Chain A
């Protein structure tokens, strides 16, 4: 018997309606009412998602030991000709259900939190309209039945991200950040689009199920066609991964994410920590069967990029002073973990541990990173500053924020029993079985993570006690409710036996606990925390002394390895000077020039010929008669030849 999942379509439908209502009539409604409409919509979505998850995972999703894929709706949206049909629909399988739960949970909490955080802001209802648009697009993305639908919603989340980063559109830095985010991700999406086109050119389909079916001859065919040393399929998948890397802020397309922190903090929590930035991971997971079975070289690139980004971002996060930027780099680092886990994963049975670990980490990371951001938001709300130097000793003023932030920091540092410990343990186990280098890199990153998170924590809540002009006050109820809810989630979701639910081949498997990995990873986490505690728990100058002892390294990290400067240099001196300027010259001189030339010639010719119309009747008559005579002579000559 099939379970009817056709109600899942109501989740995006309700959010779309909420977006339209709040977006079109928001300025006529009371701000609170707009917020309430959007919040009710997302809460309804959350209830439906949880229902679907319970039905799927605890009901009849599992048939004969394999998780089934359901497609309750799949409408033809654009039908060009028989072999080119674009459909929109709903696809239910373990990872889409998991993402539905993540997106609706975090989004609901952010909606509730924003009642407190955004209270009295200009454009309160606009904020909620954008949030609804984002949630709608993100859900459309996760339930996509085909890669083209995913691409459409992929761009929609990009637009909502752009709108929300630039929410304070009177602030030049926010405008610049939103533009940067849009252009960088758009550039990456260009690769994604080309990848889709290459893939569907050979396979003649967009559909995930058809692409994944093991007896797809077109896919085997694609692996046989070689182009510049790799199969065409590997190229297509690498280009698709480029899109994923742009959205997920993987090196070297990460530069937009730190700047995206110009947006309101709840937005950072929702979009730039928990949901949209993991879309790249989700994309690779969605096409995982292709990567792992047919293009192991592309998958190796995924692993390498993930591992490098996690280390790179962690090194930068150590020196940043803006608390949201520390969290942004930490997000990059954690997404690097997820990519690495996908990259080292196998397909069948317990070899799929990496895939499961990646999805598990995505799930737990969404909870604790959203919590960290919302906690940071509460701190910013209290002291009206993003800079670590303006904070300190806040644990007395903000007890709820303090405890919840501590829980999240412990979770991300991989301290049991919080969620991050379990997922990170699985990732490290998967890396250990695949490649020792990756394992030790990620092990070191785990230590760095613990260090910079607790540097943040001690600097905010401990450190020097300062006098505040306005006494910092604890967040209002709506904000602390979201914090407490997410803290509870962070504490319990680690115990979900994820491998029973999510596996690459859809066949659940058993995982056992890895003592040989858990002990060193907890040890380095604790070591990081202890170092941070020694340096930052009491105001001391040791940290500055260390920084001064190696000024080069410190500056390199503080300036984010000069990647932004390299981008500026590349765009300004290489692209602008050697590509854009010649093109501009060609446009002005050749394209415009030929048009101007035609106009000039016409003008000159008419100038010269207008003398012919003299108004002299006799001149006309003479010309006419001369013509007639000439014609007559010509005809005579012609006919007598």
Chain B
């Protein structure tokens, strides 16, 4: 428990991170940056898990465990996503998301 710092401050930080992530996801055109935004969203969620665990159930470990899972899955997701991005680059000669709309047909 950190002195003088309440749950609100943590939640404000996590919310700011979450919406930065959302903003980046919606606005950025580069697939790599979008992937980075997704990581930001995931990490803001991780903060929530850890903070709620710490403040509400200090003697339990579920929140920490879930955040570890999220980190693991995020790593795997990053690997898969980068593989996809590489293939997209090979096929479409670019990773600008505006040009990746062939799936609508």
Chain A residues within 8 Å of B97, by CB: 616-618
Contact string against A for B residues 89-105, beta-carbon threshold 8 Å, 1 for contact and 0 otherwise: 00000000110111111
Q: Does A580 touch B at the CB level, under 8 Å?
A: no
Chain A residues within 8 Å of B103, by CB: 615
Q: Which A residues lie at the B interface, using CB under 8 A?
A: 613-618, 621-622, 625
Sorted from nearest, which 3 A-B pairs have the closest CB atoms? A615-B101, A615-B104, A622-B26
Q: Across the interface, do B25 and A618 meet the contact criterion of CB distance under 8 Å?
A: yes
Q: Does B42 touch A at the CB level, under 8 Å?
A: no
CA A617 to CA B35, docked complex, whole Å: 13
**Distance between B44 CB and nearest chain A CB, rounded to angstroms:** 14
Q: Across the interface, do A618 and B26 meet the contact criterion of CB distance under 8 Å?
A: yes
User: Which residues between 1 and 60 of chain B lie within 8 Å of chain A, taking CB atoms?
Assistant: 22, 25-27
User: Which bucket holds chain B's interface residue count?
Assistant: 10 to 19
CA A21 to CA B52, docked complex, whole Å: 94
CA A99 to CA B103, docked complex, whole Å: 83
Chain B residues within 8 Å of A621, by CB: 25-26
**Distance between A254 CB and nearest chain B CB, rounded to angstroms:** 71
The one of B25, B26, B101 in contact with A614, judged by C-beta atoms closer than 8 angstroms, is: B101
**Distance between A612 CB and nearest chain B CB, rounded to angstroms:** 10
Contact string against A for B residues 69-105, beta-carbon threshold 8 Å, 1 for contact and 0 otherwise: 0000000000000000000000000000110111111
The one of A616, A622, A625 in contact with B101, judged by C-beta atoms closer than 8 angstroms, is: A616
**Distance between B25 CB and nearest chain A CB, rounded to angstroms:** 6
CA A622 to CA B26, docked complex, whole Å: 6
Chain B residues within 8 Å of A616, by CB: 97-98, 101
6 extra interface residue pairs, beta carbon distance < 8 Å, beyond A615-B101, A616-B101? A613-B104, A616-B97, A616-B98, A617-B97, A618-B25, A621-B26
Question: Which chain A residue shows the least CB distance to B98?
Answer: A616
Q: Across the interface, do A625 and B22 meet the contact criterion of CB distance under 8 Å?
A: yes
Q: Across the interface, do A618 and B27 meet the contact criterion of CB distance under 8 Å?
A: yes
Q: Across the interface, do A614 and B100 meet the contact criterion of CB distance under 8 Å?
A: no
B22, B26, B104 — most chain A CB neighbours (10 Å): B26
Can you name 20 A-B pairs with beta carbons within 8 Å? A613-B104, A614-B104, A615-B100, A615-B101, A615-B102, A615-B104, A615-B105, A616-B98, A616-B101, A617-B97, A617-B100, A618-B25, A618-B26, A618-B27, A618-B97, A621-B25, A621-B26, A622-B26, A625-B22, A625-B26
CA A615 to CA B102, docked complex, whole Å: 7
Chain A residues within 8 Å of B104, by CB: 613-615
CA A621 to CA B41, docked complex, whole Å: 14
**Distance between A627 CB and nearest chain B CB, rounded to angstroms:** 13
The secondary-structure label for the interface of chain A is helix
**Distance between B37 CB and nearest chain A CB, rounded to angstroms:** 10
Question: Which chain B residue shows the least CB distance to A616?
Answer: B101
Chain B residues within 8 Å of A615, by CB: 100-105
Question: Which chain A residue shows the least CB distance to B102?
Answer: A615
**Distance between B70 CB and nearest chain A CB, rounded to angstroms:** 20
CA A618 to CA B105, docked complex, whole Å: 17
**Distance between A616 CB and nearest chain B CB, rounded to angstroms:** 6
CA A615 to CA B101, docked complex, whole Å: 4
Chain A residues within 8 Å of B102, by CB: 615
CA A621 to CA B97, docked complex, whole Å: 13
**Distance between A595 CB and nearest chain B CB, rounded to angstroms:** 31
**Distance between A610 CB and nearest chain B CB, rounded to angstroms:** 10
Chain A residues within 8 Å of B22, by CB: 625
CA A354 to CA B81, docked complex, whole Å: 106
CA A593 to CA B77, docked complex, whole Å: 55
Question: Which chain B residue shows the least CB distance to A619?
Answer: B26
Chain A residues within 8 Å of B98, by CB: 616
Chain A residues within 8 Å of B105, by CB: 615
**Distance between A630 CB and nearest chain B CB, rounded to angstroms:** 14
**Distance between B39 CB and nearest chain A CB, rounded to angstroms:** 16
**Distance between B93 CB and nearest chain A CB, rounded to angstroms:** 18
Chain A residues within 8 Å of B25, by CB: 618, 621
Question: Which chain B residue shows the least CB distance to A613?
Answer: B104
Question: Which chain B residue shows the least CB distance to A624?
Answer: B26
CA A328 to CA B26, docked complex, whole Å: 92
**Distance between A271 CB and nearest chain B CB, rounded to angstroms:** 70
CA A613 to CA B101, docked complex, whole Å: 10
CA A617 to CA B95, docked complex, whole Å: 13
Chain A residues within 8 Å of B27, by CB: 618
Chain B residues within 8 Å of A618, by CB: 25-27, 97
CA A382 to CA B105, docked complex, whole Å: 81
Question: Which chain A residue shows the least CB distance to B29?
Answer: A618
Chain A residues within 8 Å of B100, by CB: 615, 617
CA A615 to CA B103, docked complex, whole Å: 7
CA A622 to CA B97, docked complex, whole Å: 14
CA A220 to CA B102, docked complex, whole Å: 84
Question: Which chain A residue shows the least CB distance to B101?
Answer: A615
CA A625 to CA B27, docked complex, whole Å: 13
**Distance between B91 CB and nearest chain A CB, rounded to angstroms:** 15
CA A613 to CA B26, docked complex, whole Å: 16
Chain A residues within 8 Å of B101, by CB: 614-616
Chain B residues within 8 Å of A613, by CB: 104
Question: Which chain B residue shows the least CB distance to A628?
Answer: B22
Question: Which chain A residue shows the least CB distance to B25?
Answer: A621
**Distance between A611 CB and nearest chain B CB, rounded to angstroms:** 11
Chain B residues within 8 Å of A614, by CB: 101, 104
Question: Which chain B residue shows the least CB distance to A610?
Answer: B104
